[in-house]
Every structure is written in C-alpha cells, then in structure tokens.
Amino acid sequence: MLFIFIDILLSVVLVGLIHELGHYLVALTFGHHLVFRRQGFRFIWNMPEDTEAHQRLIALSGFGAEILFAPLLYLAGLWLYPWVVAVHLMAYPFYAGDYNDFGWGK
C-alpha cells in the first residue's frame, strides 16, 4: 500500500515538473525565457510574443512532454504515471482558466 502511495505522489510531482519543463525547453528553443509564477497549486507563465505556430507549439509541448515520458517512466517502475497523465489531461480543461494550453493558435 505504501508503494502505491509513493508511486502516485511521485507521478503527480513528475507530471507537473515534466509538463512545465516541456513548455520551458520549447520556448528556449525559440529564443524565449519563460518566467514562472505561482497561481494556487500550479505554476503559470506568460506566452512570449512569437508566431502563432510557435505559440501553439510552446503551449502544447507541456502535454507532449508528459506523453513522451509516459512509456519511459512506466518501464522505470512508475506504472501509475501514464494514468496520472491521463487524469491530468482530462481534468485540465476544468481548472486551467485563462492559462489554458489548448487556447493558443486557434
């Protein structure tokens, strides 16, 4: 039971870190430096001025990074990580508000 609790806790923390790291690395690739600030239990940042395509890529890279890491972390023993990613993806539209990753480049 303790193992499951640790797996869930570690997966939740890693989902948040990997998600924001995805945004940060893609923005850095385009020459931007994101500055994160806290909003409740999550961290937010302002979208840099760039082309619409680059902004969309920066916005979607958070979930992209989570999904790319899912098989790696599953094979590393965090077998609940893919489930946490799925729950995060389903819950995101309900709490994201104005800082919704899916609202860019429409």
Q: What is the total residue count of the chain?
A: 106
Q: What residues have CB less than 8 Å from 19, skipping those under 6 apart? A: 62, 63, 65, 66, 88
Percent of the chain past pLDDT 70, that is, above it, reads: 98
Domain boundaries along the sequence of the chain: 2-103
Q: What is the pLDDT of residue 106?
A: 57
- Looking at residue 103, its pLDDT comes to 79
Q: If 0-12 CB within 10 Å is exposed, 13-18 middle and 19+ buried, where does residue 64 land?
A: middle
User: What confidence tens digit (pLDDT) does each residue in 66-105 have?
Assistant: 999 999 999 999 999 999 999 999 999 888 877 788 877 5
